[in-house]
Structure 1
Amino acid sequence: MELDPVFLSRLQFAFVVTFHAIFPVFTIGLASYLALLYGLLVRTGNPAWERLAEFWTKVFAIVFGMGVVSGIVMAFQFGTNWSNFSQATSNFIGPMLSYEVVTAFFLEAGFLGVLLFGRERVSPRVHLFAAIMVALGTFISAFWILSTNSWMQTPAGYEMRDGMVHVTSWIEAIFNPSFPYRFMHMALASFLTGGFVVCGVSAWYLLRGHDVEANRKALSMSLWLLLFATPAQAIIGDFHGVNTLEHQPTKVAAMEGNWERDAGVPLLLFAWPDQEGATNHFEIGIPHAASLILTHDPNGVVPGLTDVPADQRPPVWITFFSFRVMVGLGVLMIAFAVAGLLLRRGDRVYHNRFFLQGLRLMTVSPFIAVTAGWFVTEVGRAPWLIYGVMTQAEAVTPSLSGWMALTTLIGYILVYAVVFIAGVYYLGRVIRQGMVEGDVQDVQDVTRAMRPMSASHVPFDDGQYQPPNADSRS
């Protein structure tokens, strides 16, 4: 049986990236939340902030570890499955990945140890600084990775010589046309992911009556974040869509299920795309809405899939339905954020069981939305690996056989299944255990230690700081 190495390599990379992406998108948002919690702890000395910070630090550690383990093999796949691509783009991709390691990964790894193990070994201000550095490192990492991916979507600042990419302007290459929108879109997605996970877990604890004070604070903070972040994501998404229309019109045509270039194109709420017949079945749409959203003109012209040859069209049904899953969940997120605002009157937001149960279910929604969004981004780019420059067939390793790709794919699935099961198991244990409330003496010690640190005249670390209960340790 003949196996297609290009298809299997695409499937393998898609599996690895999809599995990996759900972890960074969570840790980026959660790292910023931890920095805020530790900042509030330093400022107020309130033990509730300490319990929240310590609990979510445990969650962060597990998810960060899963992200690192699952992401290591992605770089190796460039050499094993996509060697033509790696060789052709080495002048750009190599430095970009190196910048990410030097400026971001080292920063995260160095201060992560202080964040996880330094709570009782350094002063609160130093510990807060470590949390801020970890959060900053996650955004720097996202900057380089998303810039690289965006360059593959909208290449700029380069020229091809003898089949090799040569950078002519690093500024144009790094800040390529789609990067600003993609970076902002992903940053907000990270905040939404962290926000909904914190909301969901806090709602579950409130339903059980566990540490009501701390979880009311966590729920309130997260709902305020979501109230502003969800509509902001919709606005950024609109800008991103207009940018994609300009630079990747075929992808937009697949997202909209639009086969013929036309004016006044309807927004299809549902359809069944027929790629072979170049048509849709069972269409349900809103007249002129797609043209209005994409061109801000109800009679604007929207490109069609038939504008390009059949072999240059992406898999339409995956792109089409993934886009609707992402947008549909985005609308649902906005609805929950608004509902949270309305329920604040009379503190119903903390007692309405229907709303709290809904927040529990919404915990998984940002992960599904992010995954669907990546499907739109990557599948909608096909058959190009570098849009308009190099196809996936041209980029694959020439000596790679279908059976080799299938074998490694099965191996990755088995290993990642172990990683995922182990990670979920330990996450479940941490969440079931909940936030451990210290005894009265611990709270008094923490409060006493924090009070002087709020004074502006205290140095960053005077070398005389004694952590809580220091006399109880050998």
Structure 2
Amino acid sequence: MDDLLYARAQMGMSLAFHIVFAAAGVALPVLMVLSDLKARRTGDADYRLLSYKLAKGTAILFAVGAVSGTVLSFELGLLWPEFMGQYGEVIGLPFSLEGVAFFTEAIFLGIYLYGRERVSPGLHLFSGVMVALSGAASAFFVTLVNVFMNDPSGFTPTPNGPTDIQPLVAMFSPGWPYQTAHVLLSCYQASAFAMAGIHAFVLLRHPGSAFHRKALSVALPLACVTALAQPLVGDFLAKHAAEAQPVKLAAMEGHFDTERGASLRVGGLPDMETATTPYSLEIPYGLSILAFGDPHAEVKGLKEFPREDWPPVAKVHLAFQLMVGTGSAMALLALVTLGLRWRKREWPSGPRMMRLWLLASPLGVLAMEAGWLVTEWGRQPWIIHGVMRTKDAVTPVPHLAAPFWTFTLVYLFLGAMVTFLLARQVAGTLPGRESDDAH
């Protein structure tokens, strides 16, 4: 690989690692607060123990997210100096606000963890709410930077760099409501599905565990609501992409020829030589409806754009299919679960549904990672869409293979340690081992 590819691979690996722990760090405080509220309302010790365990899990993930997020911030400057050098002042505001949210989260997480018996119940609950809000704010501000990179605004580009800079306009570039909502929902969805899968696994082995039934009753509502809301938000985001990044939409769909009444392709593998997508199931008029809400709307194909502006079509298409497929499976499971909840007046906990939730537990993470691949691969060859190419932003420093493999080993070590620590937290709630360490 050349140095450009190593730089992209290192950034991609860092983001893929960071996003898992960052997403859990955003969502676990919400589940923690919900458990705390149930404990206060019912006086049930199991909910109290659950909120305590979730708080400890949040602290572990917050620490790892802080480390990997710091590495990402350094990589932006070291690997992409032209991007940060020229456009840092344009998009620096959300980076600064993300730092404020990060420190706010750290402060209130400390109060929640260590102030359980030292501050008033109201202040303790308030600190948990602030952890959840500041975690969401942190993800919100970081996502705004990515929105800018995909659909830049708030400046006038010149050969010597940006002029007429408007930081607030740049921060809220077009499409920000859809992409930020999509990202936040993916954090809650992935974490809630993972949590539901963990407790479903234990219930398959210990069906009588009251603690894990109650934990499941906290995770399932969030999992179901987000699984059903996500496709709606994704539809708005796809419509915005059709207007702002038509070449990305064409790559997502394996759509080569400009046409009216364009078909939606499910599956298939784009063939660059023949400019077709064989083995796909075509839904007539589906892409025109998806992109513009009109069955006869014209959808631009890849051939409409210069070949050097095409993203890696096959990769984008397959990642998009993975995201949509896993998202559809989660939405279907959510509908079935809510139907059983409505009919039986309680959350399902039978072995058949527990197996389904166990199988579905990694789908949220897969969908989230695939979605980010669509976003990042689909923007190539631009680091700022239509303004700066990725190859023009990379550092001239050679031998980028060395940091790539170094950080790969670091991330493997961190991942192993986090898995070990979280497994201990789960093991502490197994029947016969449940502790009273929440007191």
Fold shared, TM-score > 0.5 on shorter chain: yes
Q: Is the 8 A contact 2:140 2:184 kept in 1?
A: no
CA shift for structure 1 position 321: 0.5
- Rounded Cα–Cα distance in structure 1 between residues aligned with 2:221 and 2:108: 29
Q: Is the 8 A contact 1:82 1:396 kept in 2?
A: yes
CA shift for structure 1 position 132: 1.0
- Rounded Cα–Cα distance in structure 2 between residues aligned with 1:65 and 1:392: 31
CA shift for structure 1 position 59: 2.1
- Rounded Cα–Cα distance in structure 1 between residues aligned with 2:36 and 2:9: 41
Please name the residue that 1:126 is paired with. 123
CA shift for structure 1 position 210: 6.8
Q: Is the 8 A contact 2:33 2:125 kept in 1?
A: yes
Q: Give the residue type in structure 2 aligned to 1:307.
A: E
- Rounded Cα–Cα distance in structure 1 between residues aligned with 2:274 and 2:71: 39
Please name the residue that 2:199 is paired with. 202
Instruction: Kindly report which structure 2 residues correspond to 1:81-160, keeping only aligned pairs within 5 A, or say none.
Output: 81-102=79-100, 104-160=101-157
Segment of structure 1 superposing worse, 191-200 or 166-175? 166-175
Instruction: Kindly report which structure 2 residues correspond to 1:158-169, keeping only aligned pairs within 5 A, or say none.
Output: 158-161=155-158, 163-166=160-163, 168-169=165-166
Give per-residue Cα distances to partners, 1:227-273, cap 9 Å, x unaligned.
33222111111011000100000000000100111112211112221
Please name the residue that 1:265 is paired with. 262
Please name the residue that 2:239 is paired with. 242
Give per-residue Cα distances to partners, 1:254-295, cap 9 Å, x unaligned.
001001111122111122212244333333322221122222
Give per-residue Cα distances to partners, 1:416-455, cap 9 Å, x unaligned.
000011111121122122166567xx9xxx9xxxxxxxxx
SS in 2 for 1:297: coil
- Rounded Cα–Cα distance in structure 1 between residues aligned with 2:201 and 2:45: 21
Instruction: Kindly report which structure 2 residues correspond to 1:7-86, keeping only aligned pairs within 5 A, or say none.
Output: 7-86=5-84
Query: Alpha carbons of 1:84 and 1:107: their partners in 2 closer, same or farther (altered >3 Å)?
Result: same
Q: How many residues align?
A: 436
Q: Give the residue type in structure 2 aligned to 1:418.
A: F
The question of 1:417 aligning with 2:424 is answered no
Please name the residue that 2:289 is paired with. 292
CA shift for structure 1 position 76: 1.0
Identity of aligned residues (%): 35
Give per-residue Cα distances to partners, 1:114-172, cap 9 Å, x unaligned.
22222233232222121111111111111210111101111111123553334633332
Query: Alpha carbons of 1:262 and 1:115: their partners in 2 closer, same or farther (altered >3 Å)?
Result: same
- Rounded Cα–Cα distance in structure 1 between residues aligned with 2:300 and 2:262: 10
Q: Is the 8 A contact 2:4 2:391 kept in 1?
A: yes
Structure 1 or 2, whichever has the larger Rg, is 1
Q: Is the 8 A contact 1:206 1:350 kept in 2?
A: no
- Rounded Cα–Cα distance in structure 2 between residues aligned with 1:131 and 1:348: 27
Which structure 1 residue ranges, 5 or more long, are not aligned? 447-467, 469-474
Q: Is the 8 A contact 1:216 1:350 kept in 2?
A: no
The question of 1:175 aligning with 2:168 is answered no
- Rounded Cα–Cα distance in structure 2 between residues aligned with 1:65 and 1:361: 29
The question of 1:366 aligning with 2:364 is answered yes
Q: Is the 8 A contact 1:8 1:405 kept in 2?
A: yes
Equivalent in 294, 297, 309 of residue 312 of structure 1: 309
CA shift for structure 1 position 211: 7.0
- Rounded Cα–Cα distance in structure 2 between residues aligned with 1:219 and 1:421: 26
Query: Alpha carbons of 1:211 and 1:437: their partners in 2 closer, same or farther (altered >3 Å)?
Result: farther
Q: Is the 8 A contact 2:91 2:170 kept in 1?
A: no
Equivalent in 425, 428, 431 of residue 430 of structure 1: 425
- Rounded Cα–Cα distance in structure 1 between residues aligned with 2:39 and 2:278: 57
The question of 1:327 aligning with 2:318 is answered no
- Rounded Cα–Cα distance in structure 2 between residues aligned with 1:378 and 1:292: 25
Segment of structure 1 superposing worse, 343-352 or 90-99? 343-352
Give per-residue Cα distances to partners, 1:354-395, cap 9 Å, x unaligned.
210121121111111000000000000000100000000111
Q: Give the residue type in structure 1 aligned to 2:203.
A: L
Please name the residue that 1:460 is paired with. none
- Rounded Cα–Cα distance in structure 2 between residues aligned with 1:178 and 1:21: 21
Q: Is the 8 A contact 2:223 2:334 kept in 1?
A: yes
CA shift for structure 1 position 350: 3.9
Segment of structure 1 superposing worse, 86-95 or 365-374? 86-95
- Rounded Cα–Cα distance in structure 1 between residues aligned with 2:54 and 2:207: 15
- Rounded Cα–Cα distance in structure 1 between residues aligned with 2:417 and 2:210: 31
- Rounded Cα–Cα distance in structure 2 between residues aligned with 1:421 and 1:213: 30
- Rounded Cα–Cα distance in structure 2 between residues aligned with 1:276 and 1:29: 44
Query: Alpha carbons of 1:167 and 1:195: their partners in 2 closer, same or farther (altered >3 Å)?
Result: farther
- Rounded Cα–Cα distance in structure 2 between residues aligned with 1:19 and 1:197: 16
- Rounded Cα–Cα distance in structure 1 between residues aligned with 2:268 and 2:369: 21
